[in-house]
Amino acid sequence: MILVGNQRGGAQNLALHLLSPENEHVHVHEISGFASETLQGAFNEAYAISRGTRCQQFLFSLSLNPPEDAEVSEEEFDSAISKVEEKLGLTGQPRAIVFHEKEGRRHCHAVWSRIDAQEMKAIPLSFSKSKMQEVSRELYLEHGWKMPRGLAQHGQSDPRNFTLAEWQQAKRMGRNARDLKQTMLDAWAISDSRAGFEAALQERGFKLARGDRRGFVAVPYDGEVLSLSRYLGVTKKDMESRLGSPKESPSIEETKRQMAQEMTPVMRGYLRQADEQHRRQMEPHLRKKTEMTARHRQERATLDQKLTVQAKQDALARAARLSTGWRGLWQRVSGKRDKIIAENLREAEAAKLRDSQERHALVKTQLQQRRMPQKPIKWERQRHTKLLAEIHRELARYRKEGREVSPRLVASEIKRSRKNRKTEYSGRRGKAPETGTYRRKPQGPSISR
């Protein structure tokens, strides 16, 4: 599984992120080494202890992401976390473990306090990235998963991988983070000069601008500012060798004003209609997802209630084996009490394992069910991304030719898009969702012709 970790502060922000209702399911698996039994309280404890030191990044946050179709139990996640803990020298430190499920995938977060309370100093985490990569390779080999290129061969990691900041920025724009990053990478790949890169960005709905502190930035038509160095993963030297000095580019405010002048009312209406069409197409799929999530949560709550009642009954049955009074004294003298206690402990561990396996079986079944409605959601996102790219490409072509975009063209292209939207899903085979008709190649001229 992919392991991504970093030192950080911001206890309350991290707790809110881990408990975010945007996830379909959130399960606090463990809080150990803290006096508090809540994430907010636990992280506040770590912050309070860190005040006795100079450490500002007093937490270490780790995310564990298995392959999309892998079935990983909680025990296997625990084992992976223990390996990382030992590798980084965090063994025995207070920690919290939280499971997230979203869009048919399950991943895990583990957070440790870096502060050694006895020594009152932060535990150093030198070369943490390379150490986590070693553990990640071991996990891929251990489970027989297909290893990503970035682990099998150094320097070959997937360039479309994005950070939390990039995901949050794409979310504010209403875009998919992976698609947004791929758009930037495509524009960079097909250009070999500043003019070519500006044209490629223009066709994708972005303009090149000078950032306040980060050199070059890309500004889309909705005004969000994207750092090119972050999205492209290119050094400042390589970027300036191709694009020149950022001082030659207009500022962000100048770029936004220029965009406002170039965006005709017709194109604004076209973009709004495309977004509205996307919203209508997504609505039934999102409704199904919401209904399924509510049903799954109810099933888990019912199971948890059942397991809680069963655990209490089992605990009472085990406690009843230990006698009191004279009979209890005889059990102690004869040594029978120690045997009963040992047997109770074995049964308690077996019951804990049984409950965990039953919970994992339910989660496995629900994940398989959840992946089915996710397919049309992905198809619709890809269709919408393709349509937006066509709109911006058409806008760039008309602007280059010095013409205004015709309202008749806009109306005809919207009509064509609606006519063919049932056949524009990107699945290679199978039936289009909710139609029962098999996928065929869209007919008619392209919007860019």
pLDDT, tens digit, for every residue of 68-86?
Answer: 778 888 888 999 999 999 9
Indicate if 178 and 283 belong to the same structural domain: no
Query: In this structure, is residue 71 part of a structural domain?
Result: yes
Domain identity same for 105 and 176: no
Residue 289 lies in a domain: yes
- The tally of domains found in the chain comes to 3
The kind and range of the H/E element at 378 are: helix 336-400
In a domain, 49, yes or no: yes
351 lies in a domain? yes
Residue 135: inside a domain, yes or no? yes
Say yes or no: 227 and 287 in one domain. no
As a whole number of Å, the CA-based R_g of the chain is 28
Asked if 10 and 128 sit in the same domain, the reply is: yes
C-alpha 190/C-alpha 197 separation (Å) is: 8
Domain check: are 341 and 394 in the same one? Answer: yes
One domain for residues 202 and 283? no
Q: Say whether both 35 and 91 belong to one domain.
A: yes
171 and 308 share one domain = no
pTM assigned to the model = 0.60
Quick one: pLDDT band at residue 141, thresholds 50, 70, 90?
A: confident
Q: Which two tokens stand for residue 171?
A: 């979310």
Torsion sign over Cα 148, 153, 156, 162: positive
168 in the same domain as 134:
no
Out of 130, 152, 174, pick the residue that ends a domain.
Answer: 152
Q: What is the pLDDT of residue 94?
A: 93
In angstroms, the CA 400 to CA 308 distance is 68
CATH number of the CATH domain containing 96: 3.30.930
Residues facing 25 on adjacent strands: 101
Q: Sign (positive/negative) of CA torsion 181, 182, 188, 189?
A: positive
pLDDT for 430: 44
Confidence class of residue 444 from pLDDT cuts 50, 70 and 90? very low
Same structural domain, 294 and 221: no
Domain end, chosen from 233, 262, 291, is at: 262
Residue 388, in any domain of the structure: yes
Transcribe 9-30 into DSSP letters: --HHHHHHHHT-TTSSEEEEEE
Q: Do 331 and 250 belong together in one domain?
A: no
Give the least confident one: 24-28, 148-152, 377-381. 148-152
* CA–CA gap between residue 61 and residue 112 (Å, rounded): 7
**233 plus 139 within the same structural domain:** no
Environment class of 383 (CB within 10 Å of its CB; exposed 0-12, middle 13-18, buried 19+)? buried
Residue 172 sits in which domain range? 164-262
Segment 85-112 mean pLDDT: 90
Q: What is the pLDDT of residue 160?
A: 46
Domain assignment present for 426: no
Final residue before a domain boundary, out of 229, 262, 295: 262
Residue 170 lies in a domain: yes
Question: In angstroms, rounded to a whole number, what is the distance separating the alpha carbons of residues 200 and 192?
Answer: 11
Share of the chain above pLDDT 70, in %: 77
d(CA 148, CA 137): 9
